[in-house]
Amino acid sequence: MQNRMMITGAGSGLGREIALRWAREGWQLALSDVSEPGLQETLKLVREAGGDGFIQRCDVRDYSQLTAFAQACEVKLGGIDVIVNNAGVASGGFFSELSLEDWDWQIAINLMGVVKGCKAFLPLLEKSKGKIINIASMAALMQGPAMSNYNVAKAGVVALSESLLIELAQQEIGVHVVCPSFFQTNLLDSFRGPTPAMKAQVGKLLESSPITATDIADYIYQHVAAGEFMILPHEQGRMAWALKQKNPQLLYDEMTVMADKMRAKAKQTAG
């Protein structure tokens, strides 16, 4: 382990906070995002925090950009020890309202972006016997209403991570998957959905969260060090997951009530 980490979606939000948390331990960071200004700012903060590294613009939908990023890590850092597949976008809307384009966009970034990140960096991880940290969401486990495309993409990230945990054990590559609930972040900047009301509702949930991206990055740092596979940073999330495992029907009933309330609220807003 030579303390070299790659992060996608590092230009803001949780990606930036993960970079800063590891930078405080003196790590070398390979930072990518679609936003160049965001990356410049993250690198500046990383250096102030005691780390160093380089930036490279990268759209996770494009596998050739990810393989080029992996090559840059080999040239500039001599390899990589930990990859963090964090790049993601938000979306919402009831299934009947979502277009197939909404589905394609969501799956291409939130699921296939992670698949491609793992694939592009696997040869480097095999050499370093490194770790994969995939950022999913509590949506992967809870399937809340009016976000089916997001739920499916994030559930795919959990299933991929479970598959890799088993398959890569022999190569001594560690795998972790993180499922945060709503937290204070700029995820809404990328939000795509059929109704403005839905965006407003998600915005309220993000703002009302008692936990910040900084808290989550620290929680991830501690629990990766402890070797935990499924990392659930929110206490409420851990409770909800325990409830679902014990009595799934109770949770489905709660979600059905929530869906009815959301529909009623959306009608009021539209009216």
Catalytic residue among 63, 150, 219, 221: 150
Separation of alpha carbons 243 and 220, rounded Å: 23
Residues 6 or more apart in contact with residue 97 via CB below 8 angstroms: 193, 194, 195
Would residue 150 show up in a list of annotated catalytic residues for this protein?
Answer: yes
CB count, 10 Å around CB of 111? 21
Q: Which active-site residues does the annotation give?
A: 150
